[in-house]
Structure 1
Amino acid sequence: MVDTDRITGAARELGGKIQGAVGDLAGSHRDSAEGRFREAQGAAENVYGQAKDTARHAADQAQDYAGRAAGRAQDLAGEAQDYAEDAYERGSQVLRRGTRQVSHQVAEYPLASLVIAGLVGFGIGLLVNTSRD
Structure 2
Amino acid sequence: MVDTDRITGAAREFGGKAQGAVGDAVGSNRHAVEGRLREAQGAAENLYGQAKDAVRHAADEVTDHAAEAYDRSRHVAWEGHQKSVEWPHASLIVAGLVGFGLGFLVSRL
TM-score bracket relative to the smaller structure: 0.7 to 0.9
Aligned residues: 90
Match of 1:26 in 2: 26
Unaligned 5+ residue runs, structure 1?
91-133
Unaligned 5+ residue runs, structure 2?
91-109
Q: Aligned partners of 2:46 and 2:81: how far apart in 1?
A: 52
Match of 2:59 in 1: 59
For the aligned residues, what is the CA RMSD? 1.3
Secondary structure of 2:7's match? helix
Structure 2 counterpart of 1:28, one-letter code: S
Secondary structure of 2:42's match? helix
Structure 1 counterpart of 2:13, one-letter code: E
Deviations 1:78-119 (A, max 9, x none): 0000111111289xxxxxxxxxxxxxxxxxxxxxxxxxxxxx
Match of 2:13 in 1: 13
Mapping of residues 1-133 of structure 1, within 5 Å: 1-88=1-88
Shift of 1:25: 0.4
Secondary structure of 2:2's match? coil
Q: Aligned partners of 1:45 and 1:57: how far apart in 2?
A: 18
Which consecutive aligned stretches of 4+ in structure 1 deviate over 2 angstroms post-superposition? none
What TM-score results when the alignment is normalised by the length of structure 2?
A: 0.80
Match of 1:95 in 2: none
Structure 1 counterpart of 2:27, one-letter code: G
Shift of 1:27: 0.4
Could you say which structure has the greater relative contact order, defined with CA pairs below 8 angstroms and 6 or more residues apart? 2
What TM-score results when the alignment is normalised by the length of structure 1?
A: 0.66
Secondary structure of 1:68's match? helix
State percent identity of aligned pairs: 60
